[in-house]
Amino acid sequence: MKFTRMEISDVIVIEPKIHKDERGYFIETFRVDKLESFLGYKIDFCQDNESKSSKGVLRGLHYQLPPFAQTKLVRVVVGRVLDIAVDIRKGSPTFGKHVAVELSGENRKQLLVPRGFAHAFVVLEDNTIFAYKVDSYYSPEYDRGISYADKELAISWPLPSEELKLSTRDTSQPKLHETDEIFEYGVDHYA
């Protein structure tokens, strides 16, 4: 596996080695020993999630507050998405900045979105299957979001707004500057 830090260095792109032959392919999609060695801290994924979406579906920007803050390890099994991670750690030099990476069933890239970041993806192909691991269970009481349309985040969504399909919840999220329910920079959110 190849691990690459993005422009916001806490967000990691993981590229598994793909073994192909006439029968098809084989990949290791997760190795905790290699991931923890690269990160320098332990991670305990406890829940796997999967969604299937049509083109234009936008899910996010989501996060959970402590004590149920989540690290997400996301990937696409079939199809294609643009995946986004936004730094929502107040005081961070990259606060409000984001990184974007295309994940697809073809490129097999994965993205590690650490605690302290909001996460979203927009689906670029019909019948896309998106899978991810989290290191804390889903908790509706601690579940929060930021508006995908917050202009201060400067996210360039690859589809026109009239083609986006969002849940009612995701159309009514606050802008980043409208909420105090975010993370503090410099705090060890894994302690």
- From residue 180, alpha-carbon distances to 3, 7, 63, 150, 183 in Å are 33, 25, 13, 15, 9
Contact (CB, 8 A) for 60 and 120:
yes
Is the pLDDT assigned to residue 109 strictly greater than 90? yes
Distance of alpha carbon 61 from its chain centroid, rounded? Answer: 9
pLDDT in the model for residue 120: 98
Q: Is the overall model pTM greater than 0.85, yes or no?
A: yes
Query: Which residue out of 25, 62, 98, 138 is catalytically annotated?
Result: 62
132 is catalytic: yes
pLDDT in the model for residue 116: 98
What's the CA gap between 143 and 69, in Å, rounded?
9
pLDDT in the model for residue 191: 83
pLDDT in the model for residue 143: 97
pLDDT in tens, 135-148: 999 999 999 999 99
Contact (CB, 8 A) for 188 and 114:
no
Domains of the chain: 45-184 (2.60.120.10)
Query: Which residue out of 63, 98, 119, 132 is catalytically annotated?
Result: 132
Token pair 């696409």 in the structure block, residue: 76
